[in-house]
A = this chain, B = another copy of it.
Amino acid sequence: MQHKSGGVHTLSRNLPSIAATVALCFSASVFAQSTPLAPREVPAKTIPVPNTVSPELQQIIAQPLRNGWNSQPTTPEGWKQLAESIRVAAVPNVEAMRARLKVKVEPGVMAGVKIYTVTPEKIRPQNKNRTLLQVHGGCYVLNPAEAALPEAMLIAAIGGYKVIAVDYRMPPEAYFPAALDDVMSVYKELISKSNPKRIGLIGTSAGGALVLEMGLRAKQLGLPLPGAIASGTPMSDSTKAGDTFYTNAMLDSVLVSTDGFCDSAAAFYANGHDLKDPLISPIYGDMSGFPPTILTSGTRDLLLSNTVRVHRKLRNLGIDSFLQVYEGQSHAQYGRDERIPENREAFTEISTFLNSHLKK
């Protein structure tokens, strides 16, 4: 390297004590060798509601942590009762949302699996031959029946798609891999009638993991892959690995912490099966050959790490994958309510992505 002449080296005799470490910020650093890996001690903090989001989202961010976030059922019947009570509580909200979005929701059965067919007022012309298969979240245990519908309704209305929302079996009725078997049954039925490249998969949280698991399972079974995947803040790693499980703990108002219900629910679903199985924690699977995949998360999301890890994994395989991260949002909040501008934005982005990758 040729050095510039006229430097003011004489100043270096007065190195402030902070200089050497500041220098590390922007220049090459030296690896510490064989030191124990010290954790970061972060003091208690008071975090204001950001003014960098819409007023509507500010209201959501200002809500307290989910009440009772660290108490959870301890028996199969307790989980079932919780899921059912959630369904009952969700019904009026889901119906109000359905009315606002002007979508039609028809229950049915496909390939022996309970589904809802969700159709918008108007299917967009380019989507005439396309279908989305939607897989709901809820940590593999929650959100049965109507409670599963918000995401399907949002993408149907905002994207102008026909959507098949799968009401897959859950514990204690059926354990791993029942949920995956059910969504695969519906997928097989859809691809038997349509070019798979016209089929898109969409899901959030456990649903975000399941759509990735579907890709892995399709490869195992030698089935063609879908045309595109939209995986929202996926439970891609149920082993509690992922930095934001800890950095965003007590900040994410939805999942709150790994001590919350979601990890317990995933273990309940796994029913003793290895949580590192790629069909439960898809981050550990071989995603080569996956179709274009869009990923969605928020800066306060407990699963931000598990979202960006999937993004990097796909990109390192050369797969067209797009990441969107929303300011201030906790886990899966973007799928709650279309009256929040950022949520419409998220589904518009998902719709744009699917539209540019699904075969017409």
Contacts and interface: CB of A to CB of B under 8 A. Distances in A.
Given A22-B86, A26-B138, A327-B243, A1 B146 contact: yes
A18 B327 contact: no
Which has the most chain B C-beta neighbours within 10 Å: A12, A40, A82, A84?
A40
B47 A39 contact: yes
A43 B90 contact: no
B48 A246 contact: yes
A336 B94 contact: no
A17 B73 CA distance: 11
The number of chain A residues touching the other chain, given as a range, is 35 or more
B90 A23 contact: yes
A96 B31 CA distance: 14
B88 A12 contact: yes
B86 A23 contact: yes
A66 interface: yes
Contact of A37 (B8, B58, B136): B58
Contacts of A33: 59
A219 interface: no
B26 A142 contact: yes
Contacts of A305: 50, 52, 299, 327-328
B247 A299 contact: yes
A89 interface: yes
Which has the most chain B C-beta neighbours within 10 Å: A243, A249, A312, A322?
A243
A117 B205 CA distance: 47
A182 to B, nearest CB: 16
A221 interface: no
Interface of A: 1-4, 7-9, 11-12, 14-33, 35-53, 56, 58-69, 71-73, 78, 80-82, 84-91, 93-98, 105-107, 114, 136-138, 142-143, 145-148, 150, 205, 237, 241-244, 246-251, 253-255, 261, 299-300, 304-305, 308-309, 311-312, 315-316, 322-328, 331-332, 335-337, 339, 345, 349
9 contacts: A3-B91, A18-B67, A25-B331, A27-B143, A33-B59, A37-B59, A47-B243, A304-B325, A312-B345
Given A3-B107, A33-B59, 15 more contacts: A1-B95, A11-B80, A16-B85, A19-B86, A23-B93, A24-B66, A25-B138, A26-B136, A28-B90, A29-B93, A32-B59, A40-B47, A43-B250, A47-B243, A50-B241
